[in-house]
């Protein structure tokens, strides 16, 4: 496998959707290529960082209004 | 303005099982409603924001969504999960809102920017090289974080990268990697095939990684 093929298969690899033969070639290449090992590592690093982005909440007033709307509907 | 609350991530929610939840919501259980409201609003806001032009418009779309959920609960048939159903309502509302905001988004087949390599071809050796298709230069190592906390600049870089993505890629990566939803749920929310979802996710991840790479290389140059 070449590196330019490897980088396009990274998501399918992480999703577990590579067919067994391609997966074997992918893993073999990974074991012998420092650049691709680093690339995959950086993708994983990117995913980790994406998962730490701060969440936004509804403003308290909107939240209160929705809680009241829920109670009203069930009254 | 929305407030930042790092504690409330959808993945961290503690909600009763789905069937139980629907029964409790239909029965008017306010605590159950508060729990879903707090658990799902952050993700709904992020997705709404990809369709509309401002944080305020996204908040409006999410509020409208919850009102539609409240009113429609007795008609919910359970063919999807309640959360998927809520997201579908949101997307319909946000699309309408987005049209009013003149940010129309088309979920047609793959766009022109969704083909071709995700890493610049000149990063790899050409066909006249003894090792065609291999890295010309190994990607530069990224600095190892000084602590567990992701720096503000890195987050800002990622947020900017997300905002610049083609819309469909932005929605998919937001749902999958920021909110942490499964491939199945995202396909169901967006009504797209698994293969299509994977292409969008792949391109989005490569683009965000590329942005981080540029950020770290300019950081390096500044030292």
What is the average pLDDT across A51-74? 92
What local confidence, expressed as pLDDT, does residue B116 receive? 86
Q: For B10-100, CATH number?
A: 1.10.1740.10
| Minimum distance, in Å, between the CA of residue A22 and any CA atom of chain B | 16
Residue A74's pLDDT is 81
Task: Write out chain B residues lying below 8 Å of A52, CB-based.
Answer: 150, 155
Question: Where do the DSSP E strands lie in chain B?
Answer: 3-4
Average pLDDT estimate for A8-28: 97
Tell the residue number behind the tokens 């999958």, with chain if given: B176
Chain B: residue whose CA lies nearest to A32: B134
The pLDDT tens digits for A45-57 are: 999 999 999 888 9
Chain A residue numbers with beta carbons less than 8 Å from the beta carbon of B30 are 67, 70-71
Classify residue A62: in a domain, yes or no.
no
Give the pLDDT confidence of A24-50 residue by residue, as tens digits. Answer: 999 999 999 999 999 999 999 999 999
Alpha-carbon gap: B127 to the closest alpha carbon of chain A (Å): 12
Is A38 an 8 Å CB contact of chain B? yes
**Closest CA in chain B for residue A69:** B67
Residue whose pair of structure tokens reads 């008609």 in the numeric block: B75
More confident residue, A56 or B29: B29
> What Å distances lie between residue B140 and A46, B88, B135, B218, CA to CA?
15, 41, 11, 12
Instruction: Indicate yes or no: CB of A74 within 8 angstroms of CB of B132.
Output: no
State the average pLDDT over residues B64-76: 94
Tokens matching residue A28 = 């073999």
| Residues in contact with B9: Cβ distance below 8 Å, sequence separation at least 6, in sequence order | A55, B42, B179, B180
Q: Which of A5-19, B99-113, B156-170 has the lowest mean pLDDT?
A: B99-113
**Does B113 have pLDDT greater than 50?**
yes
Is A25 a member of any domain? yes
Q: Which residues contact B217 (CB under 8 A, 6 or more apart)?
A: B140
Apex CA A30: angle with CA A27 and CA A35, to 5°? 165
Provide the pLDDT for residue B8: 43
Q: Is the pLDDT of residue B105 over 70?
A: no
Whether B212 sits inside 8 A of A46 (CB atoms) is: yes
Kindly list the domain boundaries of chain B, sorted by start residue.
Answer: 10-100, 112-222
Q: Looking at CA atoms only, how far is residue A38 from chain B in angstroms? A: 7
- What would the two tokens of residue B216 be? 């770290």
Per-residue pLDDT for B221 more than 50?
yes
**Inside any domain, residue A75:** no
Tell if the CB–CB gap between A62 and B59 is shorter than 8 Å: yes
Average pLDDT over residues B215-220: 84
What local confidence, expressed as pLDDT, does residue B14 receive? 72
Judge contact between B180 and B11, C-beta under 8 A: yes
| Nearest CB to B209; choose among A46, A70, A71 | A46
Q: How far apart are CA B43 and CA B35, in angstroms?
A: 14
State residue B12's pLDDT score. Answer: 43
Query: Is B112-222 in CATH node 1.10.10.10?
Result: yes
Residue A73 within a domain: no
The mean predicted confidence, pLDDT, of chain B is 86
CATH number at residue A32: 1.10.10
* pLDDT for res B149: 65
DSSP A26-65: HHHHHHH-HHHHHHHHHHHHHHHHHTTSPPEE--HHHHHH
Facing residue for A69 by CB, picked from B8, B67, B202: B67
Q: Looking at per-residue confidence, does B11 or A42 come out higher? A: A42
Q: What total number of domains does chain A contain?
A: 1
Give the model's confidence band at B186: pLDDT under 50 very low, under 70 low, under 90 confident, else very high: very high
**Nearest residue on chain B to A70, alpha-carbon basis:** B70
Q: Is B135 helix (H, G, I), strand (E, B) or coil?
A: strand
- Domain assignment present for A48: yes
pLDDT of B101 > 80? The answer is no
- The predicted structure's pLDDT at residue B144: 75
Which range (A41-55, B10-24, B80-94, B148-162) has the least confidence? B10-24
Asked whether residue A60 is assigned to any structural domain, the reply reads no
Structural domain includes residue A38:
yes
For residue B78, the model assigns a pLDDT of 86
Question: Which residues form the domain of A23?
Answer: 1-53
Whole-angstrom distance, CA of residue A9 vs CA of residue A7: 6
Q: Is the pLDDT of residue B148 over 90?
A: no
A11 lies within 8 A of chain B by CB: yes
d(CA B74, CA B164): 39
Query: What is the ipTM, given to two decimal places?
Result: 0.93
Minimum CA–CA partner of B183 in chain A: A15
- Identify the band that residue B3 occupies on the pLDDT scale cut at 50, 70 and 90: very low
Is pLDDT above 80 for B159? yes
């Amino acid at each position: 496998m070449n590196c330019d093929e490897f980088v396009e298969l990274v998501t399918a690899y992480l999703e577990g959707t590579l067919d067994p033969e391609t997966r074997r070639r992918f893993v073999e290449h990974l074991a012998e290529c420092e650049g691709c090992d680093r690339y995959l590592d950086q993708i994983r690093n990117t995913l980790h960082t994406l998962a730490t982005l701060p969440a936004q909440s509804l403003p308290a007033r909107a939240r209160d209004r929705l809680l009241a709307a829920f109670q009203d509907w069930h009254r | 303005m929305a407030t930042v609350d790092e504690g409330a991530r959808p993945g961290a929610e503690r909600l009763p099982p789905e069937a139980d939840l629907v029964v409790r919501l239909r029965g008017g259980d306010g605590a159950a409603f508060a729990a879903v409201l707090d658990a799902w609003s952050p993700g709904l806001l992020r997705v709404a924001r990809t369709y509309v032009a401002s944080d305020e418009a996204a908040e409006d779309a999410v509020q409208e969504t919850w009102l539609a959920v409240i009113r429609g609960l007795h008609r919910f048939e359970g063919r999807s999960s309640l959360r998927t159903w809520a997201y579908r309502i949101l997307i319909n509302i946000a699309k309408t809102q987005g049209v009013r905001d003149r940010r129309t988004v088309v979920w047609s087949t793959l766009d022109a920017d969704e083909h071709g390599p995700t890493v610049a071809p000149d990063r790899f050796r050409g066909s006249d090289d003894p090792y065609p298709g291999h890295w010309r230069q190994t990607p530069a190592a990224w600095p190892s974080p000084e602590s567990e906390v992701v720096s503000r600049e890195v987050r800002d870089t990622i947020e900017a990268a997300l905002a610049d993505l083609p819309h469909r890629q932005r929605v998919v990566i937001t749902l999958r990697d920021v909110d942490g939803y499964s491939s199945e749920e995202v396909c169901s929310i967006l009504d797209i095939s698994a293969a299509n979802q994977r292409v969008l996710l792949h391109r989005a991840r490569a683009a965000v990684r590329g942005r981080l790479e540029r950020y770290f290389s300019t950081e390096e140059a500044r030292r």
